Amino acid sequence: MRIDVDKGKIEIGEQASSADFKNGRTKPVTTLEPETAALYGDKIGRYIQDSTLTPDFPETAGIVRAWWAEAFATPIDGVVSFDPVALGYLLKATGPAEVPDETVEVLGRTIHVLKQPLTLTADNAVAFLLKDVYDQYTIPAQQDAVFALSTHAIFDALTSGKAEPKALLESLTRAVDEGRLMYQPSDDEQAKLIGESRLSGRMPTSNADTTMVGAYVNDFTEGKLDYYLQLDMAATSTQCSAPEKPTFEVSATITNTLDDQQAADLPRYVAPARYFKKGVIATNLVVYGPVGATVTKVLVDGKEVKATAKPHLGRNAVMVPLQNKPGQKHALTVQYEGAAGEYGPFEVRHTPMVRQTPVSIDAPGCMTTD
């Protein structure tokens, strides 16, 4: 979606779905960073849906700019990422958003987009936009129309001026802190001002201000099953108790919260069962260590496995594919050894999930953030 801002007036411009771009191309839409392509494959630039594989938002923003320039040729001053959970936060400040109905051409027929009146609230927006819409609307073109109308309704609620300023600020701050709201401007001065803040979507380039480790979830089921995935994190650091040769351990556990009956009842668009049995959630789980740290051991469910660490963003990253049947869970643990040096407060980051992610940190003697 393009948003136009002119002398204080804010309007929605073009809206697009993944079908509006030339996906499945033989070559990436733009030149990729070699380390990014080595870790995630060049599909990150061949399918717009995969442009978010990297946890580095400036990389994603550059790829999306290239897609947009090719499809619409309109200049872009900045790229913003805002997820449905963050939209739910916004609705706490704006109040409910009434979604208007329209007619649309679907398979040669003119139909009403909405099957029934729709009001989005802080309580129902996430479930509707990530789950219920696929239950109620089975035609992808109609789903896209519902998303477009919902976006307009929330945008109108936000720009109406009715939102309580303090509640709006709290909602936006929470979204930034959780990595759900990110912004990457084209203007260099703006980029310098944002720096490596959470709003920028950048990983810290050193350990001096914050010693960051992370785990990132990339679905390759080719469905809409992340709604049913639970992520739990645990991390340890000896940077304060053994600063000359610190060690770090990052553990990410992913659980498929579906049961067999729920999996069987899922719409085909949500669980297409092309490459995996219906209800299986296939995930590339990627763990990043601190800047400059080397991998010493990789374990899956407590058993050591062979996995190749690859350099990315000044860190060593380990990617392991995991498959979870309904009710199943798997844990990926990566141990690191850091070099002697300056280490800031220990911090754990992760893909912002639909469900809240519990984070356990054990760093004796250290200040920690999560």
Q: What per-residue confidence (pLDDT) applies to 368?
A: 56
DSSP secondary structure string for all residues of 81-124: EE-HHHHHHHHHHH--EEEPP-EEEETTEEEES-SS-EEE-TTT
Reduced to 3 states (helix: H, G, I; strand: E, B; else coil), residue 57 is helix
Angle between helices 84-94 and 165-177 in degrees, nearest 10: 170
Residue 221 DSSP label = S
- Rounded Cα gap, residues 323 and 264, in angstroms: 17
277-299 residue pLDDT tens: 999 999 999 999 999 999 999 99
Q: What per-residue confidence (pLDDT) applies to 340?
A: 85
**179: CB partners within 8 A, 6+ apart:** 198, 201, 349, 350, 351, 352
* Predicted TM-score of the model (pTM): 0.93
Comparing CA positions, the residue from 197, 213, 201 lying closest to residue 290 is 213
Q: Over the chain, what is the mean pLDDT? A: 93
Burial label for 37, CB within 10 Å (0-12, 13-18, 19+), is middle
Over 80: is that where the pLDDT of 369 sits?
Answer: no
Comparing CA positions, the residue from 184, 212, 200, 170 lying closest to residue 338 is 212
Identity of residue 304: E
| More confidently predicted of 2 and 110 | 2
- Rounded Cα gap, residues 289 and 206, in angstroms: 12
179-226 residue pLDDT tens: 999 999 999 999 999 999 999 999 999 999 999 999 999 999 989 999
**50: CB partners within 8 A, 6+ apart:** 40, 43, 44
Q: Tokens representing 90?
A: 């916004």
Domain ranges of the chain: 3-159, 203-369
Reduced to 3 states (helix: H, G, I; strand: E, B; else coil), residue 288 is strand
Over 90: is that where the pLDDT of 319 sits?
Answer: yes
Question: With contact defined as beta carbons under 8 Å apart, do 272 and 223 qualify?
Answer: yes
CATH architecture of structural domain 203-369: Sandwich (2.60)
- Rounded Cα gap, residues 52 and 217, in angstroms: 11
Over 60: is that where the pLDDT of 155 sits?
Answer: yes
Question: With contact defined as beta carbons under 8 Å apart, do 56 and 202 qualify?
Answer: yes
Comparing CA positions, the residue from 85, 33, 38 lying closest to residue 62 is 33
